């Protein structure tokens, strides 16, 4: 009889651990901050399974010049999602673009931007994800074009174009500018669509925010530098904030394609954060681009 006791208590203990959420997933303040970042970063527009606001169970196919990439399940499901990932594993994916098994992640996952986030923001995102219900939906394989199916090749890309690490604040600028810089680069990754890429898919820093013709999924993202003739130089701070809040441009048009999903996120930010994004955007180098991206669908 006695010898049954240790086994029973071991079982009870393992059951306790199985149902115990990871340490900070039970911190409601961290979960709430993580949810805000998740929205601002538009994680759901790629990872949301059946819709932007549903559980991030993945499945969406992203068509790129390098092949079709399937977005994975990042719910805490242990078999299909990231339920077995520690905060350290998650931190490495966000900061370094390396998964739990040590494999290089494709930069279709905008980790070159997320790498700029602070440790606290990454931990808060983790707390939020771990608080979600797990979804038992299996990942689908990527259909990368040869030779891009070979992840090890990313070592070259990384050496050329990727420097991990959080964004350093610029002490010569005010708080709104610094917050805007952080949101634009680290969180909402505006450059991932609005900056043109070179033949290897890396962002061209010298042409930052000047528009990308034929972006991901065939989208054309316009020039959003303050160039008056070809960018948004004649938009006021208020015009930019209105667009981020409602999707409406100064000529009362509504943005479409990829920007609609971005606005679903930015519409839920605080006014101060939308203002910060506008302040930063007004400060970037104006670039004249004479070829205008054609209208979506046109």
Cβ contacts of residue 286 below 8 Å, gap of 6+? 225, 226, 227, 228, 231, 233
- Answer for the pair 104, 98: CB distance below 8 angstroms, yes or no: yes
Give the tokens for residue 149: 């199916």
Tokens (6 digits) for 245: 């809040």
Q: Name the minimum Å distance from CB 50 to ligand HEC.
A: 16
Q: How far is the CB of 286 from ligand HEC (least distance, A)?
A: 14
In angstroms, give the least distance from the CB of 172 to ligand HEC.
22
Nearest CB to ligand HEC, comparing residues 6 and 68: 68
Q: Nearer to ligand HEC by C-beta: 55 or 190?
A: 190
Backbone angles phi, psi at 208, to 5 degrees: -50, 130
Tokens of 93: 């994916």
In the complex, minimum distance from the CB of residue 174 to ligand HEC, in angstroms, rounded to a whole number: 19
- Chain position carrying tokens 């302040």: 279
Residues that bind ligand HEC (CB under 6 A): 41-43, 45-47, 62, 69, 71-72, 74, 82, 90, 93, 99, 105-106, 108-110, 114, 125, 184, 188-190, 192-194, 219, 221-222, 224, 232, 240, 243, 249, 255-259, 262, 266, 277, 281, 296
CB of 131 or CB of 188, closer to ligand HEC: 188
Choice between 139 and 173, CB closer to ligand HEC: 139
Distance CA 176, CA 160 (A): 32
- Give residue 120's Cα distance to chain centre: 16
For ligand HEC, the closer of residues 5 and 225 by Cβ is 225
Show the tokens assigned to 177: 């500018």
φ/ψ of residue 226, rounded to 5? -75, 30
* Least distance to ligand HEC, CB of residue 52, Å: 11
Q: Of 101, 98, 126, whose CA–CA distance to 112 is shortest?
A: 98
Q: Report the nearest approach of ligand HEC to the CB of residue 189 (Å).
A: 6
In angstroms, give the least distance from the CB of 101 to ligand HEC: 8
Of residues 291, 292, 211, 298, the one with CA closest to residue 259 = 211
State which residue, 15 or 43, has the beta carbon closest to ligand HEC: 43
By the 8 A CB rule, do 180 and 277 touch? yes
User: Is the Cβ of residue 46 or residue 127 nearer to ligand HEC in the bound state?
Assistant: 46
């Amino acid at each position: 009889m006695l010898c049954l006791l240790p086994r029973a208590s071991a079982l009870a203990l393992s059951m306790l651990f199985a149902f115990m959420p990871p340490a900070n997933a039970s911190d409601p303040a961290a979960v709430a901050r993580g949810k805000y970042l998740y929205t601002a970063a538009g994680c759901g527009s790629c990872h949301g399974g059946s819709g932007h606001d549903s559980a991030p169970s993945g499945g969406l196919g992203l068509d790129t010049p390098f092949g079709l990439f399937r977005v994975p399940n990042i719910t805490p499901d242990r078999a299909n999602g990231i339920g077995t990932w520690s905060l350290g594993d998650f931190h490495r994916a966000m900061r370094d673009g390396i998964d739990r098994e040590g494999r290089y992640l494709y930069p279709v996952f905008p980790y070159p931007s997320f790498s700029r986030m602070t440790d606290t923001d990454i931990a808060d995102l983790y707390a939020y994800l771990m608080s979600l219900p797990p979804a038992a939906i299996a990942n689908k394989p990527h259909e990368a074009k040869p030779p891009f199916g070979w992840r090890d090749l990313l070592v070259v890309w990384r050496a050329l174009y990727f420097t991990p690490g959080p964004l350093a604040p610029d002490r010569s600028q005010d708080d709104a500018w610094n917050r805007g810089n952080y949101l634009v680069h680290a969180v909402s990754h505006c450059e991932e669509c609005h900056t043109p890429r070179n033949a290897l898919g890396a962002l061209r820093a010298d042409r930052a925010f000047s528009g990308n013709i034929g972006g991901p999924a065939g989208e054309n993202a316009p020039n959003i530098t303050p160039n008056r003739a070809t960018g948004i130089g004649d938009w006021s701070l208020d015009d930019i904030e209105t667009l981020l809040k409602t999707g409406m441009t100064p000529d009362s048009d509504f943005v479409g394609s990829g920007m609609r999903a971005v606005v679903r996120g930015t519409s839920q930010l605080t006014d101060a954060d939308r203002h910060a994004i506008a302040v930063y955007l007004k400060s970037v180098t104006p670039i004249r681009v004479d070829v205008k991206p054609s209208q979506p669908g046109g």
